[in-house]
């Protein structure tokens, strides 16, 4: 089981670090307005809706997983609602490693 937890943590960090760097670059390059304007089209709204659905599915796993281990779920829910996929990636990288 420790091996699985370590692989999960490594995968989460492997995804989180470059994604965070790319997100910071995108924010620097086009600003928040540029990122938000990408959601103005029908296609942008569809992509955003898909992201919301996927993150709600992830949270439906994450919340019971955290509670079953005696952890508070609300920080991870807030992080997910504020930042998107970095929330669950941080959970798997830093909080879910002792399964």
Question: What tokens appear for 42 in the block?
Answer: 């029908």
CA gap 38, 80 in Å, rounded: 20
Q: How many domains does the chain divide into?
A: 1
Q: For residue 40, give its domain range.
A: 2-95
The chain-wide mean pLDDT, for the chain, equals 91
Helix (H, G, I), strand (E, B) or coil at 1: coil
Number of neighbouring beta carbons within 10 Å of residue 51:
13
Q: Predicted confidence band at 99 (pLDDT cuts at 50, 70, 90)? A: low
For residue 62, pLDDT beyond 80: yes
Residues 6+ apart with CB under 8 A from 65: 96
- Reported as a single tens digit per residue, the pLDDT across 64-80 is 999 999 999 999 999 99
> What is the structure's pLDDT at 1?
60
- Reported as a single tens digit per residue, the pLDDT across 2-33 is 788 888 899 999 999 999 999 999 999 999 89
CA gap 59, 88 in Å, rounded: 8
């Amino acid at each position: 089981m420790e091996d699985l937890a370590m692989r999960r943590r490594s995968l989460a960090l492997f995804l989180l670090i470059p994604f965070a760097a790319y997100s910071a670059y995108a924010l620097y390059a086009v600003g928040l307005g540029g990122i938000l304007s990408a959601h103005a089209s029908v296609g942008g709204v569809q992509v955003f809706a898909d992201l919301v659905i996927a993150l709600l599915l992830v949270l439906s796993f994450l919340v019971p997983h955290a509670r079953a281990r005696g952890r508070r779920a609300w920080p991870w829910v807030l992080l997910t609602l504020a930042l998107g996929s970095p929330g669950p990636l941080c959970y798997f990288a830093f909080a879910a490693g002792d399964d």
